[in-house]
Structure 1
Amino acid sequence: MSRIRSVAASIPAVNRRTVLAATGAAAVSAGVGYALRPTDSQAAAGAPTEATRVVAQSRKAPGAPLAPYTKGTTLASVAAPRSGTGYRRLGDGAGWSRVVRGELAAPKSGRAGRRTALAAFVQLTDLHLIDAQHPMRLEYLRSADRHAWRPHEALTVHGAISLVERINALRGAPVTGSALHFAMTTGDNTDNNAKSELEWFLKIMSGGRFTPNSGDPRHYEGVQNSGLKTYWQPDSTVRDGDKQLGFPHLQGYLAAAIREVRSPGLNLPWYSTVGNHDAMPLGCYGHGDSWLAEYAVGGRKLMSLTASEAKRLQDHIKAGNDPKGLAFRDLLKAHTRDMRPVTADEWRAPFTPADYLRAHLDPAYRGLGPVGHGYSSANLAAGTQYYTFRIADDVVGISLDTTDPGGHYEGSIGTAQLNWLDKQLKDNKDSYVVVFSHHTSKTMTNTGHADPARPNERRLGGQEVIATLGRHRNVLAWVNGHIHRNDITAHSSSAGGSFWEISTASHVDYPQLARVIELTDNKDGTISLFTTLVESAAPHRTDFADLTQTGLAALYRELSYNAPGASTKLGGAAHDRNTELLLKKG
């Protein structure tokens, strides 16, 4: 499908729910979505002024709605292990069927023939683009936890580009056949809060050529050519622990992993939501320690640690009792003599929330827009990373910032943002609402660390967000990530609201998925939300001799399946995958 530029126009604000219900018309069927450029008031304080809408025509509109389809989705086929033990090769597996869930509304017969499309979009989450040679990485935790380091970490860029290629190849929304409005990334776009990773993310999403390498431009220097048997040494004949499990010897793998790549960029507008790995070094340590910042760009890297020390550090991280990374800094200082030399690189410096916003606002990364990908100059001025945007005439999106800059990987939300959310829901009471965040309701438990920029503000958890959403009948869904697992939960409130919480698996851990979400009016007093999972465009079968960009993307998936210690439950149950989720119409 052809890629076309965004078309900007000022359109008076109109509430369309009643009009659409009467006529059955939907902007999505015409292939045009309203990607609202948030006004300064929307982005910063939520004042009730009308917005200037930017019309983002994502794909050339077909003459008529496309037919429903399954090809290229997990309804048709899913990567699955072939026979054997040990290291298992992947191939084409049976698809996942669609499950109808009626906890919040009973499905009524004949709805398929009545329904009209309201909106459709794609969710990507937890790409975890990894600068695999970065000094701050915690590979050595593997001595205590096998899954603390993944053998496929050098290929995150290749896998993410292949996912973009899959999204670009979709013929529209699988169930309704309508056009897709946009894509939303729900955080942990980067892994280590490094400027190198941020640039890779923006180029993957918006398009361009780049080299996924830092440090020495001539060759890889990290744990995978260290000779240490703790890690898979793909280019070496060393009998490391992973090779003993069947991992292959692949001469030339590391050179291929850091060669120049090309991303086509998404052929539809995209928006961004911040995750803890985007906000903080290692996804858990607050900014401000100058020694750690210097270590990140310096010329020494710790590559091994005893199991007891590794466990102690991992326990600190899990408990959240070292939010500033002081114990981590002291551990690194104690092991200065054990570090190995690497090429220093300023590009590995941590980025601040302001850096993150400026990068999204950079015209070099606009792609098909919108400018800022949801963020605005008002966010930059106010020091906020949450905003409202219009998805379609009848649907509004709200992106939250659930990271806690005080430290720790679990989430929370400040009172000012929660009050802002409540106001946005009230101001848009005549539109349906989809809320986006990185953290899930159950992982918003980090309420004990103050935001350094707002030390007197109370931090609130997931139950407070659920209560706020439950007071508004226009909320359809809360879409998030963080847990790296497909999980869909029904929420209903005594206040009258009900909505679905949709959590999608990551693209760094197997089964490496994204999700298409379609909103439809069944014309019988119910709304249906359809969720359809997709894999990257890389073939299920791998060829160890194929070290091209596509071949490495396929290998990325297979290595993630075989990663020692990896969970086998991240795909979720059948009712968390491809679904029809019913709601009573508010």
Structure 2
Amino acid sequence: MTRTRPHRPGTDRRTLLAALGATGVAAGLGTAVGAGGGTANDSPAVPPQARPARAAAAAPSAPAPSTLATAAAPQGTGTYRRLAAGAGWGRVVREDLAAARRTRAERRTVLASCVQLTDLHVVDVQHPLRSEYLRFAGTKGWRPQEALSVAGVVSLIEQVNALDGGPATGAPLDFVMTTGDNTDNNCTAELEWFLTAMSGGRVIPDTGDPAGYEGVQDSGLPVYWHPESGRRDAHKDLGFPRLDGYLEAARRPVRSPGLTVPWYGTVGNHDVLPGGCYANGDDFLTEFAVGDRKLFSLPPDEAAELHRRIREGLDPDGELFKDLLRAHARDMRTVTPDPRRAPYTPADYVRAHLDPRFTGPGPAGHGYGEANLAEDRLYYSFRIADGVLGVSLDTTRRGGHYTGAVGRTQLRWLERTLREHRDDRVLVFSHHTSRTTPGGGAELVALLRRNPQVVAWINGHSHRNEITPHGTFWEVSTASHVDFPQLARTIELTDNGDGTLSLFTTLIESAAPHGVEHGDLSRSGLASLYRELAFNAPGRRTTLAGEPGDRNTELLLPRT
């Protein structure tokens, strides 16, 4: 029997830029942080809005709703395939770090239970700084499902709310953690949509002209899927359907119930860097983002060269990118300008989380506090439960580039935090993985190994499920919710009462039905279509689900 411990509580661009005012982009979010609207979080306390104590829950008799029961699977043959409920993914017991003992289930005590959401990529598909034209160099740079990101996120939130407890133990959920790339374009409107979806409220996933769509999907360019046109395009040649009313439906208001448990945030490169790779704060890119011009196409050789520069990090400050935009000024199309598309700074990001409108189930600031503003840092620690500490890191590069970095100041802070909490079990969260953090990633792994109270490093960025043992702790990387198979992950930490700990990881899909009628443009139908389009996206990576040992698992480790 599983035992649980108690849970605790018509304007030109320059005019638009001026409209942002001296208070910065955060004014566009209506940010109003009152006195005491956050804590330093360096001396973690139990979140004031955490769940009250509840009776111990028995381990669930049925695995739903999770991929233990079913997972989306393609049906039939052909270049475009529909989805239906397929076989579930069984739980794999991994003994890389400790042996599993037969009596552990009877003696088990739950220490913590949470959900990880990662790489949601809430996206403004009409944003002028988007580089969809990379599509002209191949299949990168644009996804046919992107216009439905808000519907997909809301459906995922509904699935999290439907969980009575952890799929492995039945323990009530302590919290939800997002591990970065919550937004896609470092865009103020996207940040508001994300925060509203997480905390509850009405989202209108539309910018620019309120009367019509102005993105690439009605551009007439055959490299993109044009859902409302009878004209052939590269996607319809692969079997993509014609869906009259699709673009209007994608822009309709969506009401999110918001999460019903406390949630915390971790920052990713797409959150604080324009394009996910260029340094923040450039006047030209800010003006272009809110302006009335957008580039829809690019010669294939130039698109390939731009992709190479991004991949190799050759233009972190965006100077070459700006030269490209200037060179193609006459090739751009006119769109409706919108100040809500302006980039936001790291400080704006924190202020937005502190906005009382987005407190939702709490805690205030969702991990960020006044100290984060005062010290210009996006990392913090927080109390999960008695004996369990959470740490959220900032692995983004302020100077540009999509790969990760952890500077000396943050490493020293982390070392000090771990030293002060030697008697706690520690869950570390970040956006980037050890393999995608060339700046300090090896040092971070070494630091975590020197502190055996760290049981897991939980991250995203790669959009792929992968679980790696590191001698004394597990690294758990989870797939995104924008690319198929569109997953989130529950994490349950238990003390087995036999000298070992278990970390249960279970993947969940959104609440949307696996199959969808193409005439169903309801919110639920759009969320299902979001998954189906992602599966059929040309050039998609087919390895993102990972191997069985990277999906639903029980990860053993010694209780030090």
* CA gap 1:168/1:41 in 2 versus in 1, 3 angstroms: closer
Q: How does 1:72-83 map to 2 (within 5 A)?
A: 72-83=65-76
Question: Residues 56-94 of structure 1: CA distance to partner in whole angstroms, max 9, x if unpaired?
Answer: 333783575463530110000000000111100000100
Structure 1 residues 216 and 246, CA gap change in structure 2 (3 angstroms): same
| Structure 1 CA distance for aligned equivalents of residues 139 and 454 of structure 2 | 41
Change (3 A) 1:407 1:256: same
2:514 & 2:355 partners in 1: Cα distance? 36
Where does the alignment leave 5 or more consecutive residues of structure 1 unmatched? 1-23, 43-49, 448-460, 493-497
Pick aligned residue for 2:8 from 16, 28, 32: 32
1:102 to 95, 105, 121: 95
User: Can you list the C-alpha shifts for 1:235-272, whole angstroms capped at 9, x where unaligned?
Assistant: 11110100000000000000000001010000000000
Equivalent residue of 2:154, what SS?
helix
* Aligned partner letter, 1:326: E
SS of 2:350 mapped into structure 1: helix
How do 1:82-97 residues align onto structure 2 when only pairs under 5 Å count? 82-97=75-90
Out of 292, 296, 316, which is 1:299 matched to?
292
CA contact (8 A) 2:41 2:380 kept: no
User: Equivalent pairs: percent with the same residue?
Assistant: 58
Report what 1:433 is aligned to.
426
Residue 23 of structure 2: aligned partner: none
Mean Cα deviation higher: 68-77 or 545-554:
68-77
Cα separation, 2, equivalents of 1:364 and 1:68 = 38
Pairing 1:189–2:162 present: no
What pairs up with 1:122-161 in 2 under 5 angstroms? Answer: 122-161=115-154
Query: Is the 2:45–2:382 contact (alpha carbons within 8 Å) kept by the matching residues of 1?
Result: no
Quote the residue 2:460 is aligned against. 481
Contact preservation (8 Å) 1:269, 1:369: yes
- State the partner residue of 1:20: none
Show the counterpart of 2:518.
Answer: 544
Distance 2:248 2:470 in 1: 49
Report the Cα distance in structure 2 between the residues aligned to 1:281 and 1:63, rounded to whole angstroms.
Answer: 46
Q: What is the rounded CA distance, in whole Å, between the counterparts of 2:61 and 2:428 in structure 1?
A: 26
2:176 pairs with 1:200? no
Work out whether residues 203 and 263 of structure 1, in 8 Å CA contact, stay in contact via their aligned partners in 2.
Answer: yes
Q: Deviations over 1:336-369 (max 9, x none)?
A: 1100010000000000000000000000000010
Aligned counterpart in structure 2 of residue 503 of structure 1, from 468, 477, 482: 477
CA displacement, residues 452-503 of structure 1 (integer Å, 9 cap, x when unaligned): xxxxxxxxx21000000010110100000000000000001xxxxx000000
2:327 to 324, 334, 339: 334
Q: Deviations over 1:312-347 (max 9, x none)?
A: 001010110100111100000000110001000000
Q: 1:585 to 1:52 in 2, by over 3 A?
A: closer
| Structure 1 residue 286, shift from structure 2 partner | 0.1
The whole-number CA distance in structure 2 between the counterparts of 1:191 and 1:226 is 21
CA RMSD of the aligned region, Å?
Answer: 1.4
Q: Is the Cα–Cα contact under 8 Å of residues 126 and 186 in structure 1 kept in the other structure?
A: yes
Q: Does 1:233 align with 2:212?
A: no
Please say if residues 3 and 108 of structure 2, whose CA atoms lie closer than 8 Å, have aligned partners that are also in contact.
Answer: no
Structure 2 contact 41–369 (Cα < 8 Å) conserved? no
Q: Which residue is equivalent to 1:21?
A: none
SS of alignment partner, residue 473 of structure 2: strand
Alpha-carbon offset, residue 147 of structure 1: 3.1
| Aligned partner of residue 374 in structure 1, secondary structure | coil
Indicate the residue corresponding to 2:33 in structure 1. none
For the 8 Å contact 2:116–2:177, the answer to whether it is kept is yes
- Aligned counterparts of 1:60 and 1:221: Cα–Cα separation in 2: 50
Q: Decide which moves more: 287-296 or 339-348.
A: 287-296
1:455 corresponds in structure 2 to none
Give distance in 1, aligned partners of 2:142 and 2:444.
33
Aligned to 2:407: 414
Give me the whole-angstrom Cα distance separating, in 1, the residues matched to 2:417 and 2:463. Answer: 28
The C-alpha deviation readout for 1:20-76, integer Å capped at 9, x for no partner, is xxxx9743xx4436xxx985371xxxxxxx555433333783575463530110000
Q: Secondary structure at the match of 2:480?
A: coil
Provide the rounded CA distance (Å) in 2 between the counterparts of 1:70 and 1:59: 25
- The equivalent residue for 1:112 is 105
Structure-1 separation of matches of 2:53 and 2:230: 52
Aligned length: 532
* Distance in 2 separating the partners of 1:420 and 1:31: 28
Please say if 1:517 is aligned against 2:510.
no
For residue 569 of structure 1, report the CA deviation from its aligned partner: 0.3
CA distance in 2, matches of 1:311, 1:64: 55
Q: Please, which moves more after superposition, 288-297 or 321-330? A: 288-297
SS in 2 for 1:160: helix
The one of 352, 356, 359 aligned to 2:349: 356
Gaps of 5+ in 2: 10-36
- Residues 377 and 576 (structure 1), Cα distance of their counterparts in 2 relative to 1, 3 Å cut: same
Query: Are residues 39 and 297 of structure 1, via their aligned partners in 2, closer, same or farther at CA, if it must alter by over 3 Å?
Result: closer
- Indicate conservation of the 8 Å contact 2:4/2:56, yes or no: no
Q: Does the 8 Å CA contact 1:38/1:51 hold for their aligned counterparts?
A: no
Q: Is the 8 A contact 1:434 1:477 kept in 2?
A: yes
**Which amino acid is 2:273 matched to?**
M
Residues 319-398 of structure 1 correspond to what in structure 2 (within 5 A)? 319-398=312-391
Q: Check conservation: 1:31, 1:62, Cα contact below 8 A.
A: no
Equivalent pair of 2:485/2:535 in contact (CA under 8 Å)? yes
Name the CA distance, whole Å, in 2 between partners of 1:64 and 1:173.
10
Distance 1:546 1:60, change over 3 A: farther
Task: Look up the SS of the partner of 2:474 in the other structure.
Answer: strand
Aligned pair partner of 1:561 in 520, 524, 535: 535
Asked if the contact 1:68–1:177 (Cα under 8 Å) also holds between the matched residues in 2, the reply is: no
- Partner Cα separation in structure 1 for residue 226 and residue 495 of structure 2: 53
**Cα shift at 1:295:** 0.5
Within 5 A, what are the aligned runs for 1:40-51? 40=40, 42=42, 50-51=43-44
Amino acid at match of 1:169: A
TM-score computed with the length of structure 2 as normaliser: 0.93
Secondary structure at the aligned position of 1:55 is classed as coil
2:449 aligned residue: 470
Alignment correspondent of 1:582: 556
Counterpart for residue 247 of structure 1: 240
For 2:3 and 2:555, how far apart are their aligned partners in 1? 22
Cα separation, 1, equivalents of 2:422 and 2:539: 46
Q: Deviations over 1:188-233 (max 9, x none)?
A: 0000000010000000100001210000011111100111101000
Distance across 2 between alignment mates of 1:41 and 1:211: 33
In the alignment, structure 1 residue 491 sits paired with structure 2 residue 484? no
Gap change, CA 1:156 and 1:51, over 3 Å in 2 = closer
Letter in 2 for 1:212: P
